[in-house]
Chains A and B, each alone.
Chain A
Amino acid sequence: MAFSALIQSIELGLIFAVLSLGLFIAFRVLNLPDLTVDGSFVTGLAYSAVWTVEGNPVTGIVMGVLGGTAAGVVTGILHTKLKIHEILAGILTMTGLYSINLMIMGLSPTINFYGKKTVFTFAENKLLFNGTSLGKLVFLLFITLILVAAIYIFLKTQIGLSLRATGDNEAMVRSSSINTDAMKILGFAMCNAIVAFSGALYAQYNGNAAHSVGVGMLVLALASIIIGEAVVGRRGILRNLIAVCVGAVIYRIMLAKAYQLGLPVTGLKLFSAVMAVAAISLPLARSEFLKWRKRHAGNKKS
């Protein structure tokens, strides 16, 4: 892989690390796989695009994050107050967002703003190394690290502990004076705010926004989380958060490699799904294999 292609993969990997950190809050901390992310990613993307076209990239990101937060609150209310199953609640919000996102984008399924000023503009062509600019990479690395630190500190606060306990043992939390419904809504809101942030960055990074890009974002983030856990491990929160970022970058590098080996662009979502299945089933397959080998060895001896 060419050096510039590797750098680009890592940059995209870091944008999806942000996405995966968002899902981490719902999926790992609260134990609620949140399908809203397929929609809220596009909400972030859409706001980011329309405001960047107007020349306000930062406003675009702020609006995107607010939009994502609102989507998360809706899913949270559907799940906690209307007692809708968490997967269905996510699907409902995601489906509704499909229309809302199109409206945000002014009813056009794609917006191109290549060449407009974005949050990445200042970093372009800076820090040249081997003829490739590392400016964007450093900027994205900085954003990811700040986010990891912020989530880490948050999860150590009293409210963060309450959030974690809600995902860990809801029965206990209910009998310990914490409002579990509020915690879940908060978790959904944070998850989708961060996911929308990732979408907003993604739009400005690419210089365009496509309405259809959201499909499979949950699967992608899931694959990243699980790959990261397999590589880095999951003891301790900080390690967990770093694992998520590493997983997202590894995923993106593998995808770039697959493209290089001839994966057509249409195969992207299939690749995500297969990767997620592989990442989930590998630990199981390994332990089954070890068991099988142990039995086999035992038979030989007797």
Chain B
Amino acid sequence: MLEIKNLKVIFNENTVNEKIALDSINLTINDGDFITVIGSNGAGKSTLLNSIAGSIEVYEGSIINNGKDITYMKEHRRARFIGRLFQDPLKGTAPHMTIEENLGLAYSRGKSIRFGFGVRKKDHKLFKQACEQLGLGLENRLKSEVGLLSGGQRQALTLLMATLKTPELLLLDEHTAALDPKTSRQILEITKNIVEKDKITTLMITHNIQNAMEYGNKTLVMAGGSIIKVLEGDERKGMTIQDIMKLYAATDEMLSDRSLLS
């Protein structure tokens, strides 16, 4: 269980460009939740994920993972139990290393001592099986350099690397946004299968409202650095894209009123 309490993030503090990126967020993510996050640009979606992963400094508030305060834990330490995917498929893999070397690296996640070979004989079968479940034929190309793969294949591989050692939390930051619609759908299905199979607690940002409703069991709607709506259960099932658009529109009005008054 991940608890976020009163989380506040401020960019460019004490300058004219000061911006409250996250404004007192409270959120509890239960084990096994698959939460989708939507909201317009600048709503704070990525900032929320970045502060959970530890790549940005938190102004106040706390992030507690399974009872342990990780608010100020270093990024690479958190990476031991948090898996992460970015929008850019090139960001998640090392292009000049082979598929199995990339997987070997991912498989050693969480171990502090890293001696012994990166790709051991006994891991081979595991890597092959893991690649087979993607259905992209990567299992026959384990010795190929990752730089030779397509964007979709690289993103699928990144997903595999993030989940090879089942993480306590998986953060997906628009991980299919840079892919064509067909590949995007394929990667989403693979994501769903892996997440459901290993019951991974997941937070997924998307700009595709339909995907946000279709996948997962909860949806967060964010605007202006706050969570304006948590959709779950029957209310979520009944939601149409039009309803969501109305939610967006309402916040736009609210924001413009606020900015007019200030």
Contact = CB atoms under 8 A, between A and B. Distances in A.
Interface of A: 156-162, 164-165, 168-169, 171-180
Contacts of B109: 176-177
A92 B118 CA distance: 35
A158 B108 contact: yes
A161 B97 contact: yes
Contacts of A179: 76
B67 interface: no
Contact of A169 (B77, B91, B111): B91
B79 interface: yes
Interface stretch (B23-31, B98-106, B127-135): B98-106
A157 B116 contact: yes
Contact of A157 (B79, B90, B92, B117): B117
Nearest to B107: A158
Nearest to B165: A177
B96 A161 contact: no
Contacts of B106: 176
A176 B76 CA distance: 7
A176 B117 contact: no
Interface residues of B, number: 33
A175 B95 contact: no
Contact of A174 (B79, B101, B102, B105): B79
B92 A158 contact: no
Contact of B161 (A159, A164, A176, A178): A176
B208 to A, nearest CB: 23
Interface in B57-102: 75-77, 79-80, 84, 86, 90-97, 101-102
A177 B79 contact: yes
28 contacts: A156-B118, A156-B119, A157-B114, A157-B115, A158-B104, A158-B105, A158-B108, A158-B111, A158-B118, A160-B118, A161-B97, A161-B101, A161-B104, A161-B105, A162-B105, A162-B114, A165-B105, A168-B96, A171-B86, A171-B91, A172-B93, A174-B75, A174-B76, A175-B55, A175-B92, A176-B109, A179-B76, A180-B76
B110 interface: yes
Nearest to B93: A172
B53 interface: yes
A172 B91 contact: yes
A94 B94 CA distance: 31
A158 B116 contact: yes
Contacts of A161: 97, 101, 104-105, 108, 118-119
A209 to B, nearest CB: 36
B77 to A, nearest CB: 7
A158 B72 CA distance: 27
Nearest to B106: A176
A243 B260 CA distance: 67
A169 B93 contact: yes
- Residue of A160, A172, A177 ringed by the most chain B CB atoms within 10 A: A177
Contacts of B92: 172, 175
Contacts of B95: 168-169
Contacts of B114: 157-159, 162
Contact of B105 (A171, A176, A180): A176
Given A157-B117, A157-B118, 19 more contacts: A157-B114, A157-B115, A158-B114, A158-B115, A159-B114, A159-B115, A161-B101, A161-B119, A164-B96, A164-B101, A165-B102, A165-B105, A168-B94, A169-B93, A169-B95, A175-B55, A175-B92, A176-B76, A179-B76
A177 B110 contact: yes
A156 B105 contact: no
Nearest to A169: B94
Contacts of B117: 156-158
A25 to B, nearest CB: 15
A205 to B, nearest CB: 34
Nearest to B92: A172
Contacts of A174: 55, 75-76, 79
Contact of A164 (B86, B94, B115): B94
B115 A178 contact: no
A177 B77 contact: yes
A180 B110 CA distance: 15
Nearest to B90: A169
A175 B102 CA distance: 13
Given A156-B118, A157-B118, A161-B118, A175 B75 contact: yes
Contacts of A162: 105, 108, 114
- Residue of A161, A164, A165, A178 ringed by the most chain B CB atoms within 10 A: A161
A179 B76 CA distance: 6
Nearest to B77: A177
B175 to A, nearest CB: 12
